Structure 1
Amino acid sequence: MGRVREKLDIDFVISTGDNFYKNGLKGVRDQAFKESFMDIYIAQSLQKPWYSVLGNHDYMGNALAQLSPVLRKIDDRFICMRSSSLTQNLWTSSLSTPLHSNWSIGLTLASIVMTGEGWRLEAST
């Protein structure tokens, strides 16, 4: 994932849910946050904001823990929002981007890569 993101020179990542298998997080101090996020996504190209929404597995645990600003203090890349908040945040950010700008968005769950020219599916590496 880090190699693909390096080639694309991404600005941020969108995680489309199921952030912590199998049963989400137990709380804001759950070791799974470190083991499944901080210790996994270590490539320099992945040191970007991660806009995350909750998936069904996340709701099996303490969903409010993922929405808590405490996790952002532990790792400032992790930004988890309700899906409607994420959509509004990304839309507001895009308004300040000139129309001629090139952009890339990496989506983690389905390995869909979006660029300013369109989108394509990529196999995970």
Structure 2
Amino acid sequence: MSGVLNLFCLPFAGGSGAVFHPWHALAPQSVRVTPLALPGRGAHWNEALVAAWTPLLDRLYAQVEPHAWQPYALFGHSMGALLAFELAHRLCERGMPAPALLILSASRPPRDAHR
């Protein structure tokens, strides 16, 4: 599918990717909404929660990396915004193309984290 932007979505703390399912019907055909799976939530409820940032980012990286050579964007809400921000950095650090868009909602910018 050329010309399609993959929109990877990261939910708030405690949320699952299911919160993004209504977006499938709302998105234009040129956008493929792809909720990312977090352990211990939604369809992955039986998996152990991950308390450390690095293994969680490793898991998210593994979900996005195979698709990062095609146009993609990252969207994160609240804790998902912090994950999306860090995931974008990790992808670039490992030689993957940067996201076409990085959309962050309900979160202070990382530079304001200590205010």
**Shorter-chain TM-score: what band?**
0.3 to 0.5
The alignment's TM-score, normalised by the length of structure 2, stands at: 0.38
The alignment's TM-score, normalised by the length of structure 1, stands at: 0.36
